Each structure stands twice: as structure tokens, then as C-alpha cells.
Amino acid sequence: MQACPGECECSKKGIDYYGVLSVRKNAHDLEIKKAFRKLAIHYNPERQKDESVQFVFSLIAEAYDVLSDPLKRAIYDQYGEEGLKRGVPGPEELYIEPYVFHGEPLRTYRDFFGTSSPYADLIDVLAKPLPLYELPEGRGIKRKEEPLIKPLLLTLNEVFFGGEKKIKIQRSVLCGDGEGSTTVLREKILTIPIKPGLPSGTEILFPEEGDQGPTKIPADIIFVTEDRPHETFVRDGTNLVMIANVFLREALTGFHVVVNTIDDRILRIPITSVVSPDYEKIVIDEGMPLVDNPKERGDLVIRFKIEFPTYLPNTSKNYIKKAFRVSSTGEKGDAEYIHRLILEDKIRRNIDSDIPMRREPGE
């Protein structure tokens, strides 16, 4: 190819194709391909709906079309864009025709990726995965797997008393040495310690108990505790909460709540106060053990659901009105009057208990 005499000024004019692809002038073919891949995907018009992107995308395709062809690149290196598109004299007095870009950047894109999809990088990775030597595993670097998180459902009895829980798992185990190693599926029993009062949401870690493999570090297995539903109690921190259903009559006049505890005791708890919708009865030290000191316990909190009668006859309503009139005889807020009523009520109950029951004839 005939060269221009002296320094060719035309090489300094026109588009800098190397600058468009952000590569050096002595870049080899693989570097040019990598640069085009990155820019073509980023500026694909399907990804960025902008008119300026269309121009940049076309310029990138033109730069790659020139620099990927050895003859066009040689002419461009010597004569620049102007000489390339004007045409130059070739060897043996032949004339090299001017270069004209075909004007279809998506055609260049499609020829390179084999598709016009804007997500060609993902398709290319699936169709042509990286060689093993380019991956960390191929360089002898083992990668640790993500931890396996499993729920561990515990009954309130298990949490109350503590102990151990055994879980059977299946995992792949590496057998053999070196290149001849294989993986086989085996079962293993994991023993999980349960402390009395263990809070819900506690994470229990078993390091590297996941699947083994020649190119990976086994994953950790993490069990996260959850409370199974109980027929009576719900745990609230260290406290136990239960709901007691009571009739309106009981809510006003008093009653006993019978509680079957987790440790198989029966509690008869007297309720002497008037039970309002937001009333709670707290029984000290009848909750869950404290995980740091199992000898101490939380409380039992009893909440109430009041059931109202669906019907009351007039006579019953009159008795209720009379009872409320008697209870409101004293001035509102008169503590002395209320204390006197309570004292009279206790005296009357004591007198009633001292009166012998009437015996029927023949008894």
C-alpha cells in the first residue's frame, strides 16, 4: 500500500474510532471486541429511549465495523477517516474504493451477538459460559455457599422445660481424594440444644454442615426458632398471655379462673374486681423461665372476653336497676362510703357462713 509522503495530515482529521471505543491504537482484536460488547449493550436503543443514544450507538457500530476489519483498519491508521471514506491508491496502481458505512447499527450488533436482544450479554453468558480457568473455582479458589436458613418450630412445653431436639438432614458428602473425588448423599442427625425460656427468633448455627463439593466450602445451616401455637397461651417475651371468657354476671360479681399450667398444675385464681374490657389480671411468677436464669420466671397475664346476654326479662332489668341504685347511694368518689359497703358485704358473708344449714326431716 502506497504511503503518503511525510506525516499524513489527513490522519488527524475526522472521527477517532479508537476514542469512540475507548481503546488504545495498538489494541489487539480481543480488546476491540470486548470494548464493542460493553458499549453496544449499554447504548442499545431498546435499553435507552433517547435520540442522542441512537447517534452514539450508530457511531459505536461504525467504529467497530472499521477496526474489526484488518484492511479498513490499516487504511484508517494511515489515512484517517477522510482517506478511508475518500478512497486511496492501492498496490500495483490499484484503487481502493471509498468506505461507506451501511447505516444499520443493529445489523452490526446482530452479526456480533447473533441476536438483536438488548440483553445479549445474558444470552451470551448462558450460551457461552466463561471457561473454567476464568472462574474463581478454576484458579483453585473455593467459594463458600450462602447460608441455609431453616425454621425450627418448638412447642411451649419444649421451650418451658428445655432439652435437646434432633433434626435429620440430608447432604452431599465428598468422598475420595484429588480428581477422583465424588459426592454421595448421606443422612446426618443434628442435635440442637434448647435452653429453658429460649426466645422466639433465636438463631442456632451449625457451621459448614451444607453440601460438600470439590470447588466450594459447605454452607452454614442456621435454624431460627418459632413458637408453635398453643391451645391456651401465647408467649409475650417472658410472659404468658391467655384469654378467659366470662359472662357479664361474673364480670360484675366475681368468679374464679381455672388455669391448667404448662407444668401440669391447676391454679384457681379469684377475680374479685369488676372486670372491664381493658382489665388484666397479673399472676406473678407464672410465666416462662428466663433464659439467663431459669429459676426466675415471667408473669401470667389473663385478659378477659366478656359475653353479654342476648335477652333480659323486665324483672331482671328491674333488679339490675335496683342494684345500681343502691351502689350509687353514696356520693361519687366518696371513698369512706365505698369502704363501708365493702365491710358490710364481708360481715354479711361471714354471718351467712356461720348459720347452720337447715336439716330436712329424716336426715
pLDDT of 18 reads 92
Measure the CA–CA gap between 88 and 96, rounded to whole angstroms.
5
Do 159 and 187 meet the contact criterion of CB atoms below 8 Å apart? no
3-state secondary structure of 175: strand
Predicted confidence at residue 50, as pLDDT, reads: 73
Supply the pLDDT for residue 287: 95
The answer to whether 137 touches 143, Cβ cutoff 8 Å, is yes
Instruction: State the sign of the Cα–Cα–Cα–Cα dihedral 33, 37, 43, 46.
Output: positive
pTM beyond 0.95: the answer is no
Predicted local confidence at residue 124, as pLDDT: 54
CA torsion sign for 262, 263, 264, 270 is negative
* Beta carbons within 10 angstroms of residue 142's beta carbon: 13
> Domain 9-134 sits in which CATH superfamily?
DnaJ domain (1.10.287.110)
For position 316, what pLDDT does the model report?
84
CATH H-level, domain 143-227: superfamily: Urease metallochaperone UreE, N-terminal domain (2.60.260.20)
CATH of domain 234-307: 2.60.260.20
State how far the alpha carbon of 324 is from the alpha carbons of 249, 252, 317, 320, 327, in Å: 13, 11, 11, 6, 5
The pLDDT of residue 228: 94
Taking the C-alpha atoms of residue 26 and residue 311, their distance in angstroms, rounded to an integer, is 99
pLDDT of residue 220: 92
Q: Which of 44, 23, 43, 45 is nearest to 34 (CA)?
A: 23
Q: Per-residue pLDDT for the chain (363 aa), expressed as one digit of tens each?
A: 344 434 444 444 578 999 999 999 988 888 898 899 888 888 887 777 777 788 888 899 999 999 999 888 988 888 888 888 888 876 666 778 888 888 888 888 888 877 766 666 655 555 555 554 444 545 556 778 888 999 999 999 999 999 999 999 888 887 766 554 566 778 899 999 999 999 999 999 999 898 887 777 888 999 999 999 999 999 999 999 999 999 999 999 899 999 999 999 999 999 999 999 899 999 999 999 999 999 999 999 999 999 998 888 988 888 888 777 765 554 444 566 666 666 766 676 666 555 454 444 444
